Amino acid sequence: MRVLVFGKTGQVATELQRQAPKDVILDVLGRDRADLSDPEACAAVIMNSTADVVINAAAYTAVDQAEEEIDLATVINGAAPAAMAHASAAKGIPFIQISTDYVFDGSGQQPWTMDATPAPLGIYGRTKLLGEEAVRAAGGVYVILRTSWVFSSHGANFVKTMLRLSETRDQLSVVTDQVGGPTAAADIATACLAIARTLHRDGAPSGTFHFAGQPDVSWAEFAREVFAQTKRDITVIDIPTSAYPTPAKRPANSRLDCTGLAAFSIKRPDWRASLTDVLKELKVI
């Protein structure tokens, strides 16, 4: 199976490169070959490719900065996936788009189902929703995979931030009224490869699916687990979101109903076990 991947240095793309088995040939595109600010160029790469499946693991993910760089975020998160999906449909090959819990407004306490009505709070979520809508409208075989709270041993993420801050502090204030499922990039990559195999083999089922680690926790609880596993004597002080204002609003409820992934025989991973793997790779346990 030949898989064309947009995004070379991101957390998920990095894990795709590390995990791909010998029978999966990856063609991983960096900005030098596919700049997402040029959607038509991205489409041209697909049209000239011999790939069996396309995965878009690239995005504009600077949530706060997106509030200022609206046009750029719209092109990268909206127009680029649209062009990719249309090109994939034209070639008759499946397209996998990674999306986000930020398409929801975070209300309530129940997990968001796959068919729940999106209502993003900020520009990042709105532009990712635009990308989702375009992928569905393209007319090809597709999977939109929404995920949340991504972490790994590389790139910028919550786990690495907590470890860095704990080097110079003995207590940290962490938000406790935002709840979701931390998700290892390695687990997302595994899910994407499993979905790609099914789509390549069967051409179905198309649709929108959720994938996140379990159990659902607050950011504060996530931080405590990081420090527990690394045996760092750090006091985590619970604070409300209102005590840590940011340019972009974050959803309070990022719980995702992942039952739909049974169609691909994929189960929710325990993020605590995945966290152990990441911490071992970072050589802090």
Give the amino acid at 136: R
Using the structure block, give the residue that is written with the tokens 């619970």: 238
- 244 catalytically annotated: no
Beta strand 207-210 with 142-147 is: parallel
CA–CA gap between residue 274 and residue 2 (Å, rounded): 27
Q: Which of 60, 124, 142, 244 is catalytic?
A: 124
- Half-sphere exposure (CA, 13 Å, Cβ side) for 87? 26
Q: Which residues are catalytic?
A: 124
